Chains A and B, each alone.
Chain A
């Protein structure tokens, strides 16, 4: 190719790219204008000014008290906090359960391997939404009334009114917890401790059980990636199987596990949006209610997307920092 021709090619590339940018911008502007025009013609106002108006609906649970007279932005904030309140415990349970099942899938015991494999294959191949709806139905219809709760463990009661667990409380009304408060069964149900609503239990349990199946596969792949020689070296040094796992295998497996685990945590966070289907008031549910009450679909969806993008970025950032810590340093 002559130099002149290649220069002409470079010019052409820049012209095409400039046209592409213009086309994308023009398309975006047209879409926005057209949408706003249609909205105006239907008498729907647009813009984010509604965020300061009173919401007119209340949110039944969460760390942030919210009633109908408070503005929309607080409703979205309460929804976001509820999302985090569901996603974080679900992630912790999923990682613990998934790691145990992943190790169990490689255990030198055929029954244990079989049970763990069955768990993974069953939960991975049924849609999360179906599992959540099934759990929600079971919670509401198959459990006894709050007056006759089932005792799962000492201090842990389950009924169709939700789950009660021991929770730290402060004796002197101060901020710092001094002792554990244990739920107790009375004539009208369980009191004391932390009372978790059936919707919350459904979403946390459903998300954890489902994600644990994927975490188990990631952990299994990570363990298999550690070379057999390392295990033999561990045996030669006289380490017990538990020590081999803890000192030799898992730290090295982490290098393979962490990047996939990051993907899994991202998908768990996004999956928490399915809570809208079981009535847990998280972000998407709040947005859905808002669209129903004032028709600001564009703004509400923009908020959902922006918040999830931000959460994704935060998780990626945190996990990448962690990855840099566990990654192999020096020679490779």
Chain B
């Protein structure tokens, strides 16, 4: 099915090799030219790039990128106090830097764990303030990109140990543990994330002692963690199954105990096998954070509604706003999925 030959010479025969192909080429080129021309006309030639609402309203058939020029700060940082927005900006840079560093297999060493703890503490410190002369900003005013990235990263970090326990539990020799883990995983994977978020936002408050209301951010994070853990557990289980049983038997024969076998022999191999699948799950979680807007948190999607919904001047240009945040999500998710492909190849090299 797939053509072995690649490159310009193969392309020429693909494009003009037979009358049918030539016809397809002409039709597709016409379609691309038509679409490309309209996109260029709308997005660039007729577009207004200045934050000028008058010019935007006066223009016909063009994009108003002025809405992004005017509103990019509330879109990216939500209701975070305007003068303090350097803090979420640095917080995002810190988290992204640590993430990029962890993405490099050569830095998979023990010091990554304390580094992550320091980075997360720094993130919370910068966002929350209240110490070191920083103004305190309550979590209800957090929003935009730091919330999107923070929820995804912290949710995944908290979900991972839970997922590990669930995956090991599902393969446990103890029937009770196996049944409990399997039921939890199947139950959570069978329901939509939105119902888990509803549960977190409506039901968790009922369980806390009266007088102490848990923060909505904490509740949503708890829901997201419980949800993501079930999916990660299945991925890890796949990795555990892929490690040959012989390895466990050899290690047992050499006198390793039950837990050292898992910790030193099975898990390192299993996790290495599922890194690409885990990366895909990271993309999914990053996209799923957009759902928290349904229960009233203003991450990127919610922050857009906040920035434009209440402002009659700019409300007509919602589409440009959506395209802007879609582009932000796209860059993050596409980057991650490219990374996943690269990593798969790199990890594959060693084993073949």
Contact = CB atoms under 8 A, between A and B. Distances in A.
Chain A interface SS verdict (over half): helix
Contacts of A128: 287
Interface in A118-139: 121-122, 124-131, 133-134, 137-138
- A141, A226, A274, A305 — most chain B CB neighbours (10 Å): A305
Contacts of B3: 108
B290 A129 contact: yes
Nearest to B287: A127
A276 to B, nearest CB: 7
A38 B213 CA distance: 13
Interface centre among A122, A130, A249, A276 (most CB of B within 10 A): A130
Contacts of B203: 35, 297-298, 301
Nearest to B337: A125
Given A13-B174, A141-B318, A109 B15 contact: yes
- Residue from the set B28, B174, B198, B337 with the largest chain A CB neighbour count within 10 Å: B198
Contacts of A266: 190
A17 B174 contact: yes
Nearest to B175: A17
Most buried by B among A18, A41, A270: A270
A77 to B, nearest CB: 18
Contacts of A291: 198, 202
Contacts of A194: none
Most chain A Cβ neighbours within 10 Å, of B177, B187, B283, B290: B290
B180 interface: yes
Contacts of A304: 191-192, 195, 198
Contacts of A110: 11, 14-15
Interface stretch (B67-75, B78-86, B120-128, B328-336): B328-336
B135 interface: no
B329 A125 contact: yes
A326 interface: no
Interface string A264-285: 0010001101101100000010
A137 B322 contact: yes
A308 B288 CA distance: 18
A126 B148 CA distance: 13
Interface string B95-111: 00000000000000000
A203 interface: no
Contacts of A111: 15, 24-25, 28-29, 32
A309 B288 contact: no
B198 A297 contact: yes
Contacts, number: 151
B66 to A, nearest CB: 17
Interface string A90-117: 0000000000000000101111100100
A129 B190 contact: no
A108 to B, nearest CB: 5
Interface in B297-334: 301, 316, 318-319, 322-323, 325-326, 329-330, 333-334
Contact of A20 (B11, B15, B180, B333): B180
B135 to A, nearest CB: 31
B176 interface: yes
A127 B206 contact: no
Nearest to A273: B192
A108 B2 CA distance: 7
A21 interface: yes
Contacts of A151: none
A45 interface: no
B283 A301 contact: no
B326 A308 contact: no
B333 A276 contact: no
B210 interface: yes
Nearest to A230: B1
A223 B1 contact: yes
A308 B294 CA distance: 19
A88 interface: no
Contacts of B319: 134, 137-138, 141-142
B1 A35 contact: no
A312 interface: yes
Nearest to A245: B1
B293 interface: yes
A251 B322 CA distance: 41
B291 interface: yes
Contacts of A288: 198
Given A110-B14, A134-B319, A297-B202, A312 B334 contact: no
B207 interface: yes
Interface of A: 13, 16-18, 20-21, 24, 31, 34-35, 38-39, 41, 106, 108-112, 115, 121-122, 124-131, 133-134, 137-138, 141-142, 223-224, 226, 228, 231, 249, 266, 270-271, 273-274, 276-277, 284, 287-288, 291, 297-298, 301, 304-305, 308-309, 312-313
* A-B pairs with lowest CB-CB distance, top 7: A297-B202, A125-B333, A17-B176, A273-B192, A127-B290, A270-B192, A127-B287
